[in-house]
Amino acid sequence: QKEVEQNSGPLSVPEGAIASLNCTYSDRGSQSFFWYRQYSGKSPELIMSIYSNGDKEDGRFTAQLNKASQYVSLLIRDSQPSDSATYLCAVNMGEGDMRFGAGTRLTVKP
Amino acid sequence: NAGVTQTPKFQVLKTGQSMTLQCAQDMNHNSMYWYRQDPGMGLRLIYYSASEGTTDKGEVPNGYNVSRLNKREFSLRLESAAPSQTSVYFCASSENFGYGYTFGSGTRLTVV
Protein backbone atom coordinates (compact mmCIF):
# COMPACT_ATOMS: atom_id res chain seq x y z
CA GLN A 1 0.00 0.00 0.00
CA LYS A 2 1.41 3.35 -1.04
CA GLU A 3 0.94 5.75 1.85
CA VAL A 4 2.05 9.13 3.06
CA GLU A 5 1.40 9.79 6.73
CA GLN A 6 1.23 13.14 8.52
CA ASN A 7 0.11 14.17 11.96
CA SER A 8 -3.19 15.96 11.32
CA GLY A 9 -2.61 18.43 14.16
CA PRO A 10 -3.63 21.05 14.82
CA LEU A 11 -0.13 22.26 15.57
CA SER A 12 -0.10 25.56 17.40
CA VAL A 13 3.04 27.70 17.79
CA PRO A 14 3.57 31.29 18.97
CA GLU A 15 4.63 33.96 16.53
CA GLY A 16 8.39 33.94 16.01
CA ALA A 17 8.81 30.27 16.99
CA ILE A 18 9.96 27.37 14.82
CA ALA A 19 7.20 25.14 13.47
CA SER A 20 8.20 21.55 12.75
CA LEU A 21 6.06 19.42 10.44
CA ASN A 22 6.74 15.75 9.83
CA CYS A 23 5.87 13.15 7.21
CA THR A 24 6.63 9.47 6.66
CA TYR A 25 6.12 7.47 3.48
CA SER A 26 5.85 3.80 2.60
CA ASP A 27 7.60 3.43 -0.77
CA ARG A 28 11.36 3.05 -0.24
CA GLY A 29 12.00 3.69 -3.95
CA SER A 30 10.51 7.20 -3.93
CA GLN A 31 12.80 9.84 -5.40
CA SER A 32 11.09 13.22 -5.17
CA PHE A 33 9.39 14.92 -2.25
CA PHE A 34 7.38 18.10 -1.89
CA TRP A 35 5.69 20.37 0.59
CA TYR A 36 2.57 22.33 -0.31
CA ARG A 37 0.73 24.99 1.65
CA GLN A 38 -3.05 25.18 1.43
CA TYR A 39 -5.05 28.03 2.89
CA SER A 40 -8.65 27.26 3.82
CA GLY A 41 -10.85 27.16 0.70
CA LYS A 42 -7.88 27.59 -1.64
CA SER A 43 -5.78 25.31 -3.80
CA PRO A 44 -2.41 23.85 -2.73
CA GLU A 45 0.69 25.92 -3.47
CA LEU A 46 4.15 24.40 -3.87
CA ILE A 47 6.61 25.77 -1.30
CA MET A 48 9.48 23.27 -1.24
CA SER A 49 10.85 20.35 -3.22
CA ILE A 50 13.68 18.04 -2.17
CA TYR A 51 15.30 15.19 -4.05
CA SER A 52 18.37 14.11 -2.05
CA ASN A 53 19.16 13.32 1.56
CA GLY A 54 19.91 16.25 3.81
CA ASP A 55 18.60 19.76 4.21
CA LYS A 56 17.38 22.28 1.68
CA GLU A 57 16.78 25.86 2.73
CA ASP A 58 14.66 28.52 1.06
CA GLY A 59 14.14 31.67 3.07
CA ARG A 60 12.38 30.78 6.33
CA PHE A 61 11.66 27.23 5.12
CA THR A 62 13.93 24.20 5.48
CA ALA A 63 13.04 20.78 4.09
CA GLN A 64 14.82 17.74 5.49
CA LEU A 65 14.94 14.31 3.86
CA ASN A 66 16.11 10.99 5.28
CA LYS A 67 15.48 8.23 2.74
CA ALA A 68 16.81 5.48 5.01
CA SER A 69 14.17 6.35 7.62
CA GLN A 70 11.58 7.25 4.93
CA TYR A 71 11.05 10.57 6.63
CA VAL A 72 10.56 14.12 5.35
CA SER A 73 10.16 17.22 7.47
CA LEU A 74 9.54 20.93 7.03
CA LEU A 75 10.81 23.57 9.42
CA ILE A 76 9.36 27.08 9.37
CA ARG A 77 11.55 29.59 11.20
CA ASP A 78 10.26 32.87 12.63
CA SER A 79 6.66 31.68 12.16
CA GLN A 80 4.16 34.38 11.22
CA PRO A 81 0.35 34.41 11.54
CA SER A 82 0.26 34.37 7.74
CA ASP A 83 1.86 30.90 7.88
CA SER A 84 -1.35 29.54 9.43
CA ALA A 85 -2.53 26.98 6.89
CA THR A 86 -2.62 23.25 6.19
CA TYR A 87 0.69 21.82 5.01
CA LEU A 88 0.60 18.84 2.66
CA CYS A 89 3.47 16.42 2.21
CA ALA A 90 3.66 14.81 -1.23
CA VAL A 91 5.82 11.91 -2.41
CA ASN A 92 6.29 10.77 -5.99
CA MET A 93 5.93 6.99 -5.87
CA GLY A 94 6.67 6.32 -9.51
CA GLU A 95 5.88 7.93 -12.88
CA GLY A 96 2.82 10.16 -12.40
CA ASP A 97 1.79 8.62 -9.09
CA MET A 98 2.20 11.50 -6.64
CA ARG A 99 0.69 10.65 -3.26
CA PHE A 100 -0.33 13.26 -0.72
CA GLY A 101 -0.66 13.09 3.02
CA ALA A 102 -3.87 14.30 4.62
CA GLY A 103 -2.10 17.44 5.84
CA THR A 104 -1.10 19.07 9.11
CA ARG A 105 -3.03 22.15 10.17
CA LEU A 106 -0.72 24.84 11.56
CA THR A 107 -1.89 27.79 13.62
CA VAL A 108 0.56 30.59 14.47
CA LYS A 109 -0.70 32.68 17.38
CA PRO A 110 0.23 36.40 17.57
CA ASN B 1 -0.01 34.28 -17.13
CA ALA B 2 -3.08 32.41 -15.87
CA GLY B 3 -1.35 29.13 -14.86
CA VAL B 4 -3.97 26.39 -14.54
CA THR B 5 -7.59 27.33 -15.22
CA GLN B 6 -10.47 25.12 -14.12
CA THR B 7 -14.15 25.49 -14.93
CA PRO B 8 -16.69 25.53 -13.44
CA LYS B 9 -15.85 26.64 -9.89
CA PHE B 10 -19.07 25.26 -8.41
CA GLN B 11 -21.57 22.68 -9.64
CA VAL B 12 -24.59 20.87 -8.24
CA LEU B 13 -25.68 17.69 -10.01
CA LYS B 14 -28.50 15.27 -9.49
CA THR B 15 -27.65 11.60 -9.14
CA GLY B 16 -27.25 10.07 -12.59
CA GLN B 17 -26.46 13.30 -14.41
CA SER B 18 -23.26 13.69 -16.36
CA MET B 19 -20.82 16.56 -16.61
CA THR B 20 -17.32 17.44 -17.76
CA LEU B 21 -14.81 19.42 -15.73
CA GLN B 22 -12.48 21.46 -17.89
CA CYS B 23 -8.82 22.22 -17.22
CA ALA B 24 -6.31 24.18 -19.26
CA GLN B 25 -2.72 25.25 -18.56
CA ASP B 26 -0.61 27.85 -20.32
CA MET B 27 2.81 26.93 -18.90
CA ASN B 28 3.76 24.49 -21.68
CA HIS B 29 3.78 21.66 -19.15
CA ASN B 30 3.84 18.09 -20.41
CA SER B 31 2.08 16.34 -17.52
CA MET B 32 -1.38 16.93 -16.14
CA TYR B 33 -3.39 15.42 -13.29
CA TRP B 34 -6.83 15.23 -11.73
CA TYR B 35 -7.23 14.89 -7.96
CA ARG B 36 -10.16 14.89 -5.61
CA GLN B 37 -9.94 16.22 -2.06
CA ASP B 38 -12.22 15.00 0.69
CA PRO B 39 -12.12 16.02 4.37
CA GLY B 40 -9.64 13.94 6.35
CA MET B 41 -8.48 11.99 3.28
CA GLY B 42 -6.17 14.39 1.54
CA LEU B 43 -5.74 14.56 -2.19
CA ARG B 44 -6.33 11.34 -4.12
CA LEU B 45 -5.19 10.87 -7.70
CA ILE B 46 -7.96 10.06 -10.19
CA TYR B 47 -6.17 10.10 -13.56
CA TYR B 48 -2.98 11.50 -14.95
CA SER B 49 -1.42 12.20 -18.33
CA ALA B 50 2.27 12.12 -19.10
CA SER B 51 1.87 13.96 -22.38
CA GLU B 52 -0.58 14.67 -25.16
CA GLY B 53 -2.35 11.49 -26.20
CA THR B 54 -1.59 9.42 -23.10
CA THR B 55 -3.66 8.89 -19.95
CA ASP B 56 -3.35 6.51 -17.00
CA LYS B 57 -5.47 5.53 -14.02
CA GLY B 58 -4.57 6.76 -10.58
CA GLU B 59 -5.66 5.63 -7.15
CA VAL B 60 -9.44 6.23 -7.52
CA PRO B 61 -10.43 6.12 -11.24
CA ASN B 62 -13.80 4.34 -10.97
CA GLY B 63 -16.71 6.45 -12.21
CA TYR B 64 -14.50 8.86 -14.15
CA ASN B 65 -13.06 9.25 -17.62
CA VAL B 66 -10.52 11.70 -18.96
CA SER B 67 -9.44 13.18 -22.25
CA ARG B 68 -6.10 14.82 -22.98
CA LEU B 69 -7.40 16.94 -25.83
CA ASN B 70 -4.05 18.59 -26.59
CA LYS B 71 -1.00 19.69 -24.64
CA ARG B 72 -2.93 22.46 -22.88
CA GLU B 73 -6.23 20.77 -22.01
CA PHE B 74 -7.15 17.81 -19.79
CA SER B 75 -10.83 17.19 -19.07
CA LEU B 76 -12.52 14.96 -16.48
CA ARG B 77 -15.93 13.45 -17.19
CA LEU B 78 -18.45 11.98 -14.79
CA GLU B 79 -20.80 9.82 -16.86
CA SER B 80 -23.38 9.08 -14.15
CA ALA B 81 -22.79 11.13 -11.01
CA ALA B 82 -23.20 9.54 -7.59
CA PRO B 83 -23.36 11.18 -4.13
CA SER B 84 -19.98 9.56 -3.35
CA GLN B 85 -18.46 11.83 -6.00
CA THR B 86 -19.29 14.92 -3.96
CA SER B 87 -15.87 16.46 -3.48
CA VAL B 88 -13.51 19.25 -4.42
CA TYR B 89 -11.72 18.46 -7.68
CA PHE B 90 -8.31 19.89 -8.50
CA CYS B 91 -6.49 19.85 -11.79
CA ALA B 92 -2.72 20.21 -11.71
CA SER B 93 0.16 20.32 -14.16
CA SER B 94 3.92 19.85 -14.01
CA GLU B 95 6.82 20.20 -16.39
CA ASN B 96 7.23 16.43 -16.33
CA PHE B 97 6.76 13.56 -13.87
CA GLY B 98 8.74 14.08 -10.69
CA TYR B 99 8.44 17.87 -10.70
CA GLY B 100 6.29 20.01 -8.43
CA TYR B 101 2.72 20.80 -9.40
CA THR B 102 0.82 23.96 -10.17
CA PHE B 103 -2.80 23.54 -9.15
CA GLY B 104 -5.95 25.09 -10.53
CA SER B 105 -8.39 26.85 -8.22
CA GLY B 106 -10.63 23.79 -7.90
CA THR B 107 -14.22 22.76 -8.63
CA ARG B 108 -16.57 22.21 -5.73
CA LEU B 109 -19.01 19.51 -6.87
CA THR B 110 -22.10 18.43 -4.97
CA VAL B 111 -24.16 15.44 -6.12
CA VAL B 112 -27.63 15.25 -4.58
Q: What is the pLDDT of residues B75-105, one digit of tens each?
A: 999 999 999 999 999 999 999 999 999 999 9
User: pLDDT of B27-66, one tens digit each?
Assistant: 999 999 999 999 878 899 999 999 988 999 999 999 999 9
**Per-residue confidence (pLDDT) for residue B87, from 0 to 100:** 98
**Per-residue confidence (pLDDT) for residue B99, from 0 to 100:** 93
CB atoms within 10 A of CB A4: 25
Low pLDDT (below 50) residues in chain A: none
| Chain A residue at shortest CA distance from B39 | A102
Closest to B19 measured CA to CA, from B70, B69, B89, B97: B89
Residue to substitute from B25, B43, B54, interface A, most A β-carbons within 10 A: B43
Can you tell me the mean pLDDT for B9-30?
A: 97
**Per-residue confidence (pLDDT) for residue A107, from 0 to 100:** 97
B31 contacts in A (CB within 8 Å)? Answer: 96
- Contact state of B97 with A100 under an 8 Å Cβ cutoff: no
Give me the half-sphere count of Cα atoms (radius 13 Å) on the Cβ side of residue B65. Answer: 9
| Chain A residue at shortest CA distance from B49 | A96
Assign B1 a pLDDT band (cuts: 50, 70, 90). low
* Closest Cβ–Cβ partner in A46, A95, A101 for B97: A95
Closest to B66 measured CA to CA, from B45, B46, B36, B90: B46
Residue to substitute from A43, A89, A97, interface B, most B β-carbons within 10 A: A43
- Contact state of A102 with B99 under an 8 Å Cβ cutoff: no
* Residue A34 contacts residue A46 (beta carbons within 8 Å): yes
Closest to A18 measured CA to CA, from A87, A102, A80: A80
N-to-C CA span, chain A:
40
